[in-house]
Amino acid sequence: MGKELVKDPLNIIICGVGGQGNILATELLASALVEKGYFTTVGETYGASQRGGSVMSHVRISAANEYGVLIPLGQADIIVSFEPTDTLRVARDYANKSTLILTDSRPNYPLGVLIGEAVYPSMEAIETELKKLSREVMIIEATRMAVEAGNSQATNILLMGSLTALPQVPLTAEDYDKVMEQRFKGEALELNRKVFKIGYEHINR
Amino acid sequence: MEWMITADEPGRTYLMQGNEAIARGALEAGIRFAAAYPGSPSSEILAMLGHVAEKMDLYAEWSTNETCALEACLGASFARVRSLCIMKQNGLLVVGDALHSASLSGVKGGLVLVVADDPSAHSSTNEFDSRHQARSAGLPMLEPANMQEAKDMVKWGYELSEQLQQLVMVRTVTRINHGRSSVSLGELPKEKPDPVTIGEWDRMVAINWFKDAQIAKIDQAKSIFETSPFNEYKGPEEPDMIIVTCGTGWLYSSEAVEALGLRDRIGILKIGTTYPLPEDFIVKHLLKTKKVLVIEEVDPFLEQNIAGIIAYHPELQVELLGRYGGKAMPRNGELNPDIVRNTLARLTGTAFTGPETAVIPPEEAVALPARELTFCAGCPHRASFFLLKQTLRIQEGQGVVMGDIGCYTMGGQRAGHYLYNFLCCMGGGINAAEGMGQLTRFGFKQPVLALAGDSTFFHSCLPGLVNAKYHDSNMLFVVLDNSATAMTGFQPHPGIGQTAMGKAAEPISIKKVAEAIGCPVTVADPFDISGTTSKVYDLLKQPGLKVLILKQECATLVVRKREKPRVWVDQELCRGDDCGCGRFCSRIWGCPGNIWDYEAGKAKIDEVVCVGCGVCISLCPAGAIKMEGGGACG
């Protein structure tokens, strides 16, 4: 496949809201990278994430040496996000003019919006600002596709399929599959393989 | 993951979480005993050891509190069994007396105490630097800078502990515990020694006679640390400045030196053995420079111990910079690569050019709604806080509520209608309520309430309950019993009926314990809002100590156990904004399952989020919320 590290370190942020499977998806990604022989570190912020807070994982990939677990501000090369407002929150801090952003379009309404005190911004407004902050924004209806494939819980793996399809990520679909095979079995493995493929092919058409 | 920490593959590299690496290190050292009380960011360690206990021939328990855990490990150590004790920074303060005593008696079988600090208090009520306790108790301490070291230091900690016959503390921080990196596995022991017979004159006694021995041990640790491979210097022979660092600061410093192109000007002295410091090793390197910057998490602990070394070594002519006084580095809060790089750039007069970023003027930036914390959909705490707030509003005189530590700590925010007035530490609520409840003799009239969860009840409320009963304080003690240590990930506690190793145990009844102490106990269901509200109202009118147990299982556990019923809004019945309820279900009740359908102008249930508890059905004035189906719990 000839997929090599185009930048060292390559910094990827995976973010969303607690319960969206962010941590598992990141762990699989980083494990696949370690299996390929890269120095890979992951920093996770998930203190109270089970209670609806934002969750963010930093993945740092290097062929040369180990890096600290946190990405410096403005230095994310790729941002993968499960929630549009969280995408923007993270992009404001970590994106630069070369950053590629991959985001799901399904909103997860915070408490303030539910009780009518705050307004959830439009997807158009979010996209406009994301474009100003980065090089490219790819909006993927990952939750919708995962629901169609059988389970909204698999959105995380679907987005990992899309991420793996990017030329910048030094992994092949087979590399990610090996790690999924280690972790899942039976129906869960089948579903994850199915959604991974959907996400992968969505990019690699 | 359990399979990874027990893999018999020496030399194999896996991506491991810091907590996995710690568990693996202890397994490689051949521990047969592990005890902990849960607390982020340390909780995964004992959870994993509990799951692999049988396979790896060890015993693991979730102790009732940290003191129980440490002293249980001392018991195992007395019989020459290697043991691991784990806690978070607050737990170390709970265990302070035991720690300072145990350092006098020393240990027999190796005992490593892992303490996980939470800089910036991501999942804690407060930031605290545990390292002061190692110095105060006179215990050797190691600080891993990455996941590999976390494993290796824990493993080596047992050799050190047995060589010195002393407890060894390993201090980690959130970014190590919850970070992941490559870890190369070592060998697992083929055999583990059995406990020895304790002879008639065998002793492990903590008394001041052994103070000299304790000091000799710490001096011996210092000489061992002088040649430890966990300490290293990398950099030029005559640097403009040396960064002395430990823990996460090491990789942040290395990255900053590279990013600023300072490799020829700045040296990095990494210290893994942070107490007692290897004095000769440090002096030897600091002689190379005139300027020293110390980079570490939380307090200027390393910095001020180095200041001590400088004071005793007039040959060192260095300017010392760090967190002290907040001049070079922030005085508190977690480190990150930006803080470290910016500090270094400022001190060396170097400019950093990062990738080009866009600046969005504030007037063009999209307004983002804050993502505040709330109770989960169907959480019984939401019902408990609602009905307590409602009761305090309808009775005469504003009540005073003492909070405590757990998921329900969030009840001090909007999620719990800002209910409580007071918050201290675990078990702090009941004691503060006892004190305030004594003031009725001076004319204090407000009803006083204390809250505690079920795990907190066992952890630290028992002496408080005895105290409040014996002194007959005027107060209502409310136990929010959700049958879970929910905040930290559902570790079992003595009320649950299960152990860390997955075995059944006889659960201890909170009601029976409180009754045995002599308290009148009422058990009520928080989901029965009106019935329980009137019970609370009546209890507040009675003098003396009352105990109310609000019992309803944590929604996150319920969801795992039963088929959820379908709850929906009959929009024909919902009167929308004409109702007069002010959109009660979505605005005031505040459950993430209750949303507003802006198109229809009516209430709606988010059926993906809703867990089917059905409480909102009883609260809707129009009777528009309906439920069908669903299996019974269990």
- Helix axis angle, B249-259 to B337-348, nearest 10°: 50
Could you tell me if residue B427 is inside a domain? yes
Angle (nearest 5°) at CA B12 between B8 and B13: 130
Give the dihedral of Cα atoms B389, B394, B395, B400; nearest 10 deg.
30
Indicate the pLDDT class of residue B253, thresholds 50, 70 and 90: very high
pLDDT grade for B25, boundaries at 50, 70 and 90: very high
Mapping DSSP to helix (H, G, I), strand (E, B) and coil, where does residue B399 land? coil
Binary contact (A34, B13; C-beta < 8 A)? yes
pLDDT reading at B293 higher than 90: yes
A chain contacts of residue B556, beta-carbon cutoff 8 Å? 50
| pLDDT tens digits along B360-394 | 999 999 999 988 888 889 999 999 999 999 999 88
Give dist(CA B463, CA B428) in Å, integer.
Answer: 11
Residue B362 counted as domain residue: no
Q: Are residues B91 and B238 in the same domain?
A: no
Instruction: Give yes or no for A136 touching B (CB within 8 A).
Output: no
On the question of pLDDT at A49 being above 60, the answer is no
pLDDT (0 to 100) of residue B374:
84
Residue pLDDT, tens place only, B458-473: 999 999 999 999 999 9
pLDDT of residue B564: 84
Give the distance, in angstroms, between the CA of residue B312 and the centroid of all CA atoms in the same chain.
Answer: 37
From CA B324, how far away is CA B508, in angstroms rounded? 48
What pLDDT, on a 0 to 100 scale, did the predictor assign at position B541?
A: 92
Residues B75 and B115 in one domain: yes
Query: Quick one: B485 and B518 in the same domain?
Result: yes
Rounded to 10°, the helix A155-165/A173-183 angle is: 150
* H or E element that contains B91: helix B89-94
pLDDT at A51: 58
Domain ranges across chain A: 10-203
* Residue B311 sits in the same domain as residue B402: no
Chain B CA closest to residue A126: B366
Token digits of residue B37: 């009380």
Evaluate if residue A142 carries a pLDDT over 50: yes
State residue B178's pLDDT score: 95
> How far apart, in whole angstroms, are the C-alpha atoms of residue A61 and residue A69?
10
**Chain Cα centroid distance, residue B250:** 24
In this prediction, residues B99-124 reach a mean pLDDT of 96
Summary mean pLDDT of chain B: 95
Residue B8 sits in the same domain as residue B83:
yes
The pLDDT confidence band at residue B633, using thresholds 50, 70 and 90, is: very low
Cα B554 from Cα B409, distance rounded (Å):
15
- For A143-158, what is the mean pLDDT? 90
Token duo for residue B595: 């949303």
Is pLDDT of B506 > 50?
yes
Chain B: residue nearest A71 by CA? B337
State residue B67's pLDDT score.
98
Q: Which residues pair with B29 in a beta bridge?
A: none
- Higher local confidence (pLDDT), B573 or A45: B573
Q: Using an 8 Å Cβ cutoff, are B273 and B230 in contact?
A: yes
B363 interfacial to chain A (CB closer than 8 Å): no
**Structure-block tokens of residue B286:** 């600091």
Q: Does B359 touch chain A (CB under 8 A)?
A: no
CA distance B377 to B612: 9
Mean residue pLDDT across chain A: 92
Contact B166, B140 (CB under 8 A): yes
- pLDDT for residue B398: 84
Contact B358 A152 (CB under 8 A): no
pLDDT at A2 over 70: no
**Residue B151: per-residue pLDDT:** 98
Strand, helix or coil for residue B142: strand
Residues B300 and B313 both lie in one domain = yes
- pLDDT mean over A16-21: 80
Mean pLDDT of B251-259: 98
B167 and B53, same structural domain?
A: yes
Identify which of A68, A85, A132 has the shortest CB distance to residue B368: A85
**Between B485 and A110, where is the model more confident?**
A110
pLDDT value of position A1? 46
Residue B193 lies in a domain: no
Q: Concatenate the DSSP letters of all residues of B539-591 into one string.
A: HHHS-SEEEEEEE---HHHHHHHSPPPEEEE-TTT--GGGSSS-SIIIIII--
The answer to whether B42 and B116 have CB atoms below 8 angstroms apart is yes
pLDDT at B54 over 70: yes
The number of distinct structural domains making up chain B is 4
pLDDT band at B347 (very low <50, low <70, confident <90, very high): very high
3-class DSSP state for residue A60? strand
Q: Give the CATH number, domain containing residue B482.
A: 3.40.50.970
The residue ranges of DSSP E strands in B299-456, in sequence order, are 319-321, 400-402, 448-453
Q: How many angstroms separate the CA atoms of B339 and B346, rounded?
A: 11
Give the domain CATH number at B262.
3.40.50.920
pLDDT band (50, 70, 90) for residue B634: very low
* Residues whose CB is less than 8 angstroms from the CB of residue B597 and which lie 6 or more positions away in sequence, other chains included: B569, B571, B603, B604
> Amino acid identity, residue B448?
V
pTM equals 0.95
Nearest residue of A to residue B147, measured between CA atoms: A41
Say whether both B73 and B164 belong to one domain: yes
**Whether the predicted pLDDT of B2 surpasses 60:** yes
Residue B235 neighbours by CB distance under 10 Å? 21
Residue B119 lies inside a defined structural domain of this protein: yes
B355 vs A47: CB contact, 8 Å cut-off? no
Cα torsion B160, B166, B172, B177: sign: positive
Chain B residue whose CA is closest to A133:
B358
Look at residue B608 in the predicted model and tell me its pLDDT: 78
Q: Say if residue B489's pLDDT is above 80.
A: no
**B243 and B133 share a domain?**
no
pLDDT of residue B630: 65
Of B106-110, B328-332, B395-399, the least confident: B395-399
Q: Tell me: the pLDDT tens digits for B153-210?
A: 999 999 999 999 999 999 999 999 999 999 999 999 999 999 999 999 999 999 999 9
CATH top-level class for A10-203? alpha beta
Mean pLDDT along residues A100-122: 89
What is the domain extent for residue B610? 562-628
Q: What percent of chain B has pLDDT over 90?
A: 87
Residue B610 placed within a domain: yes
What CATH number is attached to the domain comprising B612?
A: 3.30.70.20
Mean pLDDT of A70-89: 96
Residues B210 and B327 placed together within one structural domain of the fold: no
Residues B53 and B150 occupy one common structural domain: yes
pLDDT digits (tens, 9 = 90+) for B564-589: 899 999 999 999 999 999 999 998 99
CA distance A145 to chain B (A): 16
Between residues 589 and 628 of chain B, which touch chain A (CB distance below 8 Å)?
590, 592, 594-596, 608
For an interface test with B, the pick among A7, A35, A41, A179 (most B C-beta atoms closer than 10 Å) comes out as A41
**What digits encode the pLDDT tens for the residues B74-97?**
999 999 999 999 999 999 999 999
Residue B201 lies in a domain: no
Residue A39 has pLDDT above 60, yes or no: yes
Report pLDDT for A111.
79
Mutation site for A-interface testing, chosen from B3, B146, B172, B182 by largest number of A Cβ within 10 Å: B182
ipTM: 0.95
Segment A100-120 shows an average pLDDT of: 88
A 89-128 → B contacts, CB under 8 A: 89, 92, 95-98, 109-116, 118-121, 125-126
Q: What is the pLDDT of residue A117?
A: 85
- Predicted confidence at residue A50, as pLDDT, reads 53
**In percent, how much of chain A has pLDDT > 90?**
78
Whether the per-residue pLDDT at B484 is higher than 70: the answer is yes
- Cβ distance of B415 and A88 shorter than 8 Å: no
| Region of poorest pLDDT, from A77-81, A146-150, A156-160, B8-12 | A146-150
Q: For residue range A157-185, list pLDDT tens digits in order.
A: 999 999 999 999 999 999 999 999 999 99
B591 and B536, same structural domain? no
